[in-house]
Structure 1
């Protein structure tokens, strides 16, 4: 991380600003935007390490904003614990195997969910009928994907969309899960010797810029009705699925 060109610094600041803007608007999305763009200038693992502090700040701020957060987090805190466990497993997986195929798996899951309305016999009501078991599965799965490819938000979005929670509760609960999982991931990287002082010093200014983008996105989201917000989330899932497929083939063909 020494002697980094000035242009890299400027581009990195622009990337996290954009990531914060997207996250503030939709309540999720910072790592999906920031990680692949930073990875174009470095590698995936370094990109994940650089975005740890911005992720923790963005998730923490989003989790506590909006009022009534104690009730929201009190209802869904077990999902955060499952995601913590999954994040540790995913991080250990990241440093030992190629995580790229997980992108295709995640994209396929998202497309399957988004098109499931065309399959009349397919019932997603089991999520609402068994919230604890489904929450555990979705939470752990999101944690593993967050640890390997830094993208676990779409999995939790599927769960909370089916639970039909209010937009504010959705944003607060998802960000609680990511706040906890990213702290666990940072600790795992530190224990393994991957998270040094140089990366920490780099990630702190990136965190401050990401917060500026986050606040701008939140100002936009506050003007959007709940039904339209859910429609935007479905649109974001389609976009995320497409980006994941592009990222997979970009890395696969670049090997």
Structure 2
């Protein structure tokens, strides 16, 4: 159980502000930023638990902000169900083991995201075998999300190879995250891991998350995306190195 103190509230608030702003600016990524930052001062399981409610709120808001929610929901429901199944398995493994080595997996997932963003990845079979690719990528993204709270690398590869438009990628990612968070919340609750302190701390952060998220939405339309993305890439790279150092250093 996490200790509730002024330092904890300030640190968690700063992390959630940054993560929500990041998410609003590019359309996804709240857990990808918040989880490793929280994991620097606590274990990965606690970090994921703290992000459950804010991530769910952020996902719902982002889906609504992009519009055409019902159409996107119907189209990506099979993928989201695959992700939910994988997330259930990954979350249960995390609950049973709660290994610090999963921080290494989280760092690798972030580095994978950065590599995908930098290089052109070509998997032509994704278009030729849409049902199989949806099953494989959805389930794999879910397992990774359950273990580390990061689905983005797998979902981005799938989205790019399936030739989805930018708005559709945002919808797809947020719907999959939403389903993954739902099953995580259920499993952590059933296993007695979602304690009152974590619930209180994450709930009090929702207003800060709301403010930062909408600030990110506005910034998204005004700044040069290439410059902004480069800053974020550098930040995530340094963050992944910090996680690796924490485990092996």
TM range (shorter): 0.7 to 0.9
8 Å contact from structure 2 (residues 137, 155) kept in 1: yes
For the 8 Å contact 1:16–1:34, the answer to whether it is kept is yes
CA contact (8 A) 1:110 1:237 kept: no
Change in 2 beyond 3 A, CA 1:241/1:219: closer
Residues 173-223 of structure 1, C-alpha deviations (whole Å, 9 max, x = no match): 110110111010010111111012222121111222112111111112245
1:1-255 aligned within 5 A: 1=1, 4-97=4-97, 98=99, 99-103=102-106, 106=109, 109-110=112-113, 113=116, 117=120, 123-223=122-222, 242=237, 245-254=240-249
In 2, Cα distance between the equivalents of 1:248 and 1:3? 22
Give the conservation status (yes or no) of the 8 Å contact 1:110–1:241: no
Q: Distance in 1 between matches of 2:196 and 2:130?
A: 41
Secondary structure at the counterpart of residue 216 of structure 1: helix
Q: Name the SS for the 1:41 alignment partner.
A: coil
Cα RMSD after superposing both structures: 2.8
Aligned length: 246
Greater Cα shift, 46-55 or 210-219: 210-219
Contact preservation (8 Å) 1:63, 1:176: yes
Deviates more, 1:108-117 or 1:128-137: 108-117
Deviations along 1:15-67, whole A, 9 cap, x unmatched?
A: 10110000011111111211121222322211111110001000111112232
Q: Normalised by the size of structure 2, how large is the TM-score? A: 0.86
Structure 1 unaligned runs (5+)?
A: none
1:148: Cα distance to partner? 0.7
- How far residue 247 of structure 1 moved from its aligned partner, in angstroms, is 4.6
Distance 1:237 1:133 in 2: 33
